[in-house]
């Protein structure tokens, strides 16, 4: 397969994931109040939350620094994809890396733009896109929109267990978005099935540099 076809495949995957991710986020943001929950099945809910920090809501560094770091990392991934195409790596591997890149860009869009283009979401007010009075934040300080919630099962730890005895455990309690899923699926498949290809790609990077 030619490099042009591989580049087209990578671009198509990125655009498909990015557009779908943003359509879902904008719809949820403009139709749900913060923390509003819509149950589709017992094990699948749409629950709107906003994530101000990193994955799983962890916030350990300044928001603007985190956003700039994500942008820099995404630029590095673009160059990596370009090198994969130039060195004629398998299309399947290129598409996996493109999935990871698309997920990263999807959350960067939220962080860069959402604070400016949306009014604030609260438990009683649904956000407005392009509000006349301006957004809830500034550039680089937008919050990432999450909505997919899969409470597959819950149970209570036995009372005799130290520290956690008597507490409730829920799987899967984390709420995420399509961009997160794209990154996670891409990383898991890459690690399970493409570890040799990953190592080879970095070896070629060292030779070229």
d(CA 46, CA 149): 6
Residue 178 token pair: 């399509």
Where do the DSSP E strands lie in 29-143? 37-41, 44-51
Q: Which of 21, 37, 110, 146 is catalytic?
A: 146
Q: Which of 21, 37, 110, 180 is catalytic?
A: 180
45 with 32: CB under 8 angstroms? no
Of 141, 153, 142, 148, whose CA–CA distance to 180 is shortest?
148
Q: Answer yes or no: are the C-beta atoms of 33 and 122 closer than 8 Å.
A: yes
Cβ contact 120:127 at 8 Å = yes
Under a CB-based contact definition with an 8 Å cutoff, are residues 123 and 153 in contact?
A: no
Residue 146 annotated in active site: yes
Q: Which residues contact 155 (CB under 8 A, 6 or more apart)?
A: 168, 169
Torsion sign, CA atoms 146, 147, 153, 156: positive
Cβ atoms < 10 Å from Cβ of 166 = 10
Query: Catalytic residue positions?
Result: 146, 180
């Amino acid at each position: 397969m030619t490099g042009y076809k591989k580049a087209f495949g990578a671009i198509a995957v990125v655009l498909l994931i990015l557009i779908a991710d943003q359509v879902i986020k904008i719809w949820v943001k403009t139709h749900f109040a913060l923390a509003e929950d819509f149950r589709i099945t017992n094990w699948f809910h749409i629950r709107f939350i906003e994530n101000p920090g990193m994955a799983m809501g962890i916030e350990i560094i300044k928001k603007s620094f985190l956003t700039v770091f994500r942008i820099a990392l995404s630029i590095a991934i673009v160059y990596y994809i370009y090198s994969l195409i130039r060195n004629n790596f398998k299309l399947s591997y290129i598409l996996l890396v493109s999935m990871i890149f698309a997920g990263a860009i999807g959350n960067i869009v939220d962080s860069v733009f959402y604070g400016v283009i949306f009014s604030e979401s609260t438990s009683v007010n649904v956000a407005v896109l392009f509000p006349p009075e301006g957004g809830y934040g500034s550039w680089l300080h937008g919050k990432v929109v999450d909505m997919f919630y899969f409470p597959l099962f819950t149970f209570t730890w036995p009372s005799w267990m130290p520290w956690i005895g008597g507490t409730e455990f829920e799987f899967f309690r984390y709420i995420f978005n399509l961009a997160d899923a794209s990154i996670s699926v891409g990383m898991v498949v890459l690690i399970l099935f493409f570890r040799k290809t990953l190592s080879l790609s970095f070896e070629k990077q060292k030779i070229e540099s």
